[in-house]
């Protein structure tokens, strides 16, 4: 993929039958992020723990990303990298350099407005059924889930920087699965999967899950949980999302009992997170 080209979807929206609860989760998450920004308006210069961005820069990025996804949902062409982590990072920095807004109030309003524009466009789209995003082609359902996932990740960062409570919940994490399962094959690390043949089942506590089959290094992801797998990983939902987005590691979660492992090859579990690279 060279740049971002919505191809035959350009000029038309992408119609989506969103999973139950996703539309509300997007609106509520955007509203909670906006509220924490307004409460922490004096802290936009605070650094995101473990990252280079300030809270103001992270909020600006989130506002711009919501606008990007709203445009994609409406069928507008938006070049944005080539899908690799390096190109996405470069596109992010270029976009921030061209967008000078760092104040909490205007960014909070933009985050909410563009999240609303995206879900509205998904519900009102034309005949197109897929759209090409910075992480490849996906359905409208997956795009809505992508929007939620992205907001949760950066909302978590903002909450930490501003000393406030984050907005990640088990229910919202389960709604990120359409996006996760859509992109996992694209973010596989070939060096880590080379020579591996194994089947995994990943189950969120009291929620959904998915399956991953690795055959001689090639990865196939199934949105359904397989009945049998070499290794079954039971994981607390918020822990799953933080690990998937590169915000936390597995060892502390294992020690605290937030990850449980079953199956005939349980020793495969620690290898699983390293098979993928967070975009």
pLDDT in tens, 158-184: 999 999 999 999 999 999 999 999 999
Gap between the Cα atoms of 146 and 131, Å rounded: 12
| pTM, entire model | 0.91
Tokens of 85: 């982590």
d(CA 270, CA 203): 15
CB 206 within 8 A of CB 170: yes
Comparing 90-99, 129-138, 143-152, which segment has the lowest mean pLDDT? 129-138
* E strands in the chain: 130-133, 136-139, 198-204, 209-215, 218-222, 231-235, 259-262
Q: What is the CATH T-level fold of the domain 7-182, as seen in this structure?
A: 1.20.120
Residue 43 confidence (pLDDT): 96
By mean pLDDT, which of 58-62, 133-137, 234-238, 257-261 is the weakest? 133-137
Helical pair 22-39 and 140-161, crossing angle rounded to 10 deg? 20
pLDDT at 191: 94
Q: Are strands 198-204 and 231-235 parallel, antiparallel or unpaired?
A: parallel
Average pLDDT over residues 60-89: 88
Where, residue-wise, is CATH 1.20.120 in the chain? 7-182
Note the pLDDT of residue 14. Answer: 65
- Cα dihedral 72, 75, 80, 83, rounded to 10, equals 70
Average pLDDT, the chain: 90
The pLDDT, as a whole number, for residue 45 is: 97
Tell me the three-class secondary structure of 131-189, residue by residue. Answer: EEECCEEEEHHHHHHHHHHHHHHHHHHHHHHCCCCCCCCHHHHHCCHHHHHHHHHHHEC
5 has a pLDDT exceeding 60: no
127 pLDDT more than 50? no
For the stretch 8-50, pLDDT in tens is 344 566 656 788 899 999 999 999 999 999 999 999 999 999 8
The SS3 call for residue 61 is helix
Residue 195 Ramachandran class (φ > 0 left, ψ -120 to 50 alpha, else beta)? left
Q: Where in the chain is CATH 3.30.1050.10? A: 188-275
Helix-then-strand count for the chain, H and E? 10, 7
The pLDDT of residue 7 is above 50: no
DSSP assignment letter at 76? -
| pLDDT at position 80 over 90 | no
**pLDDT attached to residue 128:** 58
Model confidence at 97: pLDDT above 90: yes
CATH number for the region 188-275 comes to: 3.30.1050.10
Find residue 198's DSSP bridge partners: 214
pLDDT at 12: 61
Mean pLDDT of the 51-55 span? 94
Give residue 53's pLDDT band: very low, low, confident or very high (50, 70, 90).
very high
* Residue pLDDT, tens place only, 186-205: 999 999 999 999 999 999 99
């Amino acid at each position: 993929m060279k740049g971002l080209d919505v191809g035959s979807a350009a000029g038309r929206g992408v119609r989506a039958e969103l999973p139950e609860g996703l539309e509300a989760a997007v609106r509520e998450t955007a509203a909670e992020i906006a509220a924490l920004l307004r409460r922490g308006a004096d802290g936009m210069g605070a650094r995101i723990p473990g990252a280079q961005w300030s809270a103001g820069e992270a909020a600006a990025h989130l506002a711009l990303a919501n606008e990007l996804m709203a445009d994609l949902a409406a069928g507008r062409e938006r070049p944005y990298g080539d899908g690799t982590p390096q190109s996405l990072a470069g596109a992010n920095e270029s976009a921030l350099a061209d967008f000078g807004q760092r104040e909490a109030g205007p960014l909070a309003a933009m985050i909410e407005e563009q999240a609303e524009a995206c879900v509205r466009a998904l519900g009102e789209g034309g005949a197109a059924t897929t759209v090409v995003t910075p992480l490849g082609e996906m359905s409208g359902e997956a795009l809505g889930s992508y929007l939620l996932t992205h907001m949760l990740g950066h909302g978590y960062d903002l909450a930490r920087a501003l000393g406030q409570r984050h907005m990640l919940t088990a229910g919202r994490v389960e709604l990120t699965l359409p996006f996760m399962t859509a992109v996992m094959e694209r973010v596989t690390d070939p060096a880590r999967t080379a020579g591996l043949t194994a089947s995994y089942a990943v189950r969120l506590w009291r929620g959904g899950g998915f399956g991953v089959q690795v055959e001689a290094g090639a990865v196939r992801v199934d949105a359904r949980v397989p009945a049998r797998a070499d290794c079954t990983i039971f994981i607390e939902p918020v822990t799953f999302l933080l690990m998937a987005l590169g915000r936390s590691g597995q060892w502390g979660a294992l020690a605290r009992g937030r990850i449980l492992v079953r199956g005939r090859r349980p020793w495969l579990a620690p290898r699983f997170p390293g098979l993928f690279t967070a975009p």
